[in-house]
Amino acid sequence: MDILRRLLRTLVSLAMALLLVAALLVGGYLFVIKPSRSSQTPSNTSQASSAGGLRGALVSLLLASKSDQLLPVSADPDAPAVSFEVQAGQTATEVAQALERAGLVRDASAFSLLLRDRGLDRHIEAGHFELSPAMSAEQIAAALAHARGDEVVLVTLEGWRLEQDAIAVQQGFGQGQDFLNIAARQGAQLLPDWVGRPPDSTSLEGFLFPDTYRFAPDAKAVDIIAAMLADFANQFSEDDRAQAQRMGLTPYQVVTLASIVEREAVRPEERPLIAAVFLNRLKQGMRLEADPTVQYALGLQADSGRWWKVPLLAGDIQAAVSPYNTYLNPGLPPGPICSPGKASIDAVLHPAKVDYLYFVAKGDGYHAFTASYDEHVQNVQKYQGN
């Protein structure tokens, strides 16, 4: 009798599992595949801001299985911007396919699912965009949601230097040289007094906040710069200014150090650790010895067309004779080396409470940290072999 009961329970469990699989297959067709096909023709039917119910669960499940396809196409954070046009009447599926052809997303179907999951598949407007292969699918989707037919969407990324911003401005507005002339040579006077800039500074490097912006197609360089400066002032709050003062730093110094953290950090969770190392070294009168400052000093590499030399060789350190080279000069460089994002600024204002003085790249995006020079030498040998 017990055997029969167990057998019956097993059969019931199998039947329920089969019914669930059948329901998922039918639901997948009705709520995912069929709507995707029907989206090939424009519709005026309104849609909720995000998928819900069974359809939402299925979309989220499929999206999770394609997470790798939502990563940036390029692992190079300095990949230049690409001009991309969304035509009037294009469906979300057509836009996704065009993005894949342009080398801006890895997989059109995965991007379409992302748009559907975020409720953006019916909210893409015609417009002109400056996008980078270094952007994730999430970032591109957010940029597309900012579109208006009569505007150009400009996206600048964390870690870009002024010249890289200027390239994107040139592609979108034909104002790249004007942008660079103002931002690099005379823009510092536009900074608010609370920033505490040195009186001899002329550049806005570091203070044109990396973000997604909308402008009229005929926007001038000065308009773009003004919007980016306003965004920075909004991001660097009064609480941030108060915290900088408590630390004995000016906002200018915070942004300068944050720009180095931005270029050093690969894993977001390491930003406060890297900031702590540099702050500890400054307190002890040690040179920062930060590779990105040497890369900044070296500038554009004629052989590769890159603004950040990779790999950086030992000889480059001596070759880069510049006040920005923190291997040769003590303290902070004269100013920022790139535009840091809010996370890097926060890392400097709220560093990890550690006594680390050294770190070395492990080759997987992470670093090995230590307070001991001898341990640091061992880590260098272990992870870099020299």
CA distances to 154, 227, 262 from 266, in Å:
24, 28, 8
Same domain? 94 vs 229: yes
Establish if 56 belongs to a structural domain: no
Establish if 302 belongs to a structural domain: yes
Same domain? 187 vs 264: no
Instruction: Provide the pLDDT confidence category of residue 40 given band limits of 50, 70 and 90.
Output: very low
Cis check for the bond before 311: say yes or no (omega within 30 of 0): yes
Same domain? 160 vs 99: yes
Q: How many domains does the chain have?
A: 2
Angle (CA) 327 330 335, round 5° = 90
Q: Could you identify the residue written with the tokens 């702050």?
A: 279
Establish if 284 belongs to a structural domain: yes
Establish if 223 belongs to a structural domain: yes
Confidence (pLDDT) at 81? 84
Same domain? 371 vs 274: yes
Could you list the residue range(s) of the whole structural domain that residue 172 is in? 82-234
Angle (CA) 370 373 378, round 5° = 80
The token duo for 48 is 């909720």
Q: Are 151 and 110 in contact (CB under 8 A)?
A: no
Same domain? 203 vs 263: no
Q: Could you identify the residue written with the tokens 């396919």?
A: 97
Confidence (pLDDT) at 119? 81
Single residue among 234, 267, 291 that ends a domain in this structure: 234
Confidence (pLDDT) at 289? 97
Q: Are 207 and 196 in contact (CB under 8 A)?
A: no
Among 205, 223, 201, smallest CA distance to 214 is for: 223
Element (H, E) at 23: helix 2-28
Same domain? 130 vs 172: yes
Among 277, 266, 246, smallest CA distance to 354 is for: 277
**Cα separation, 296 vs 290, whole angstroms:** 11
Establish if 44 belongs to a structural domain: no
Same domain? 121 vs 221: yes
The token duo for 34 is 């069929």
The token duo for 142 is 């957010």
Q: Helix, strand or coil for residue 171?
A: helix
* CATH number for position 200: 3.30.1490.480
Q: Helix, strand or coil for residue 156?
A: coil
Same domain? 127 vs 210: yes
Q: Are 84 and 102 in contact (CB under 8 A)?
A: yes
**Cα separation, 148 vs 161, whole angstroms:** 28
Same domain? 216 vs 294: no
Distance between start and end Cα atoms, the chain: 73
- The residue ranking higher by pLDDT, 46 or 269, is 269
Say yes or no to pLDDT of 20 above 60: no
Confidence (pLDDT) at 34? 41
Same domain? 199 vs 313: no
Number of Cβ atoms within 10 Å of the Cβ of 139: 16
Single residue among 234, 265, 284 that ends a domain in this structure: 234
Q: Which amino acid is at 144?
A: L
Q: Are 130 and 173 in contact (CB under 8 A)?
A: no
Lowest-pLDDT range of 26-35, 52-61, 267-276, 336-345:
26-35
Q: Are 338 and 347 in contact (CB under 8 A)?
A: no
Same domain? 265 vs 213: no
Say yes or no to pLDDT of 10 above 80: no
Q: Could you identify the residue written with the tokens 């660079």?
A: 180
The token duo for 215 is 């402008």
Among 241, 202, 240, 228, smallest CA distance to 346 is for: 240
- Give the model confidence (pLDDT) of 87-120 as tens digits: 887 888 999 999 999 999 999 988 888 888 888 7
Establish if 296 belongs to a structural domain: yes
Say yes or no to pLDDT of 18 above 60: no
Same domain? 215 vs 189: yes
**Quick one: CA dihedral 134, 135, 137, 141, positive or negative?**
negative
- Average of pLDDT values for 328-357? 97
Q: Are 252 and 230 in contact (CB under 8 A)?
A: no
- Average of pLDDT values for 307-313? 91
Single residue among 175, 203, 234 that ends a domain in this structure: 234
Establish if 112 belongs to a structural domain: yes
- Partnered with residue 148 across adjacent β-strands are none
**pTM of the shown model:** 0.79
